[in-house]
Amino acid sequence: MKWFIIALVIASLLGSIMWVMPSPRQRYQAHLRLKARKLGIQVQLARVELPRARGETEPEVRTIPAYRIPRNNLERSERDNWTHWEVLRVETLDNAGLIEGWSWSKGQGGLSPAAVERLNAILSQLPDDVLGIESTPLSLTLYWGERGDESRLDDLQALVRPLLEQKI
């Protein structure tokens, strides 16, 4: 009986240690977020309220990692007059000018037709796990589900770089 109790205590300790250990997915996320931090990208968990999709009565709310790329190329006057916009991957009635499957959450009509055209070119290339893009005077944010390998982070940063450079 004494050996049974000792084995039970050891098994309990090992179980507790294994429970605290991060899963392979959590290790991948930690590694990816550390790489993002080294690239100057802030990563936060954001609560995103999707616009009501067609046929829905309540908007869906998701918690998703937000990769915020700081804007360092704006003058003060540009910051003061910035048009804050956000597009999300959901089909709603508020999708004027956007490609199919994307809708405005904020800032509809605030961008020039040429800027919307450049935005659509980028939206069409985004992988399926990117839920949305938000543009503020402080940063450009990608709401990303963190699927794929770590090279996807470099690909996404290169893909949205024109939005930063062209101040969209």
- Identify the residue with better confidence: 102 or 53: 102
Burial class (CB in 10 A: 0-12, 13-18, 19+), 62: middle
> Which pLDDT belongs to residue 11?
82
How many whole angstroms separate alpha carbon 105 and alpha carbon 94? 8
Amino acid, res. 164: L
The torsion defined by the Cα of 143, 147, 152 and 154, in degrees rounded to 10, comes to 50
Query: Per-residue pLDDT tens for 24-78?
Result: 899 999 999 999 999 999 999 999 988 876 676 788 899 999 999 999 888 999 9
Residue 6: pLDDT band (50, 70, 90) is confident
Residues, the chain = 168
> Which pLDDT belongs to residue 31?
93
Indicate yes or no: pTM above 0.75. yes
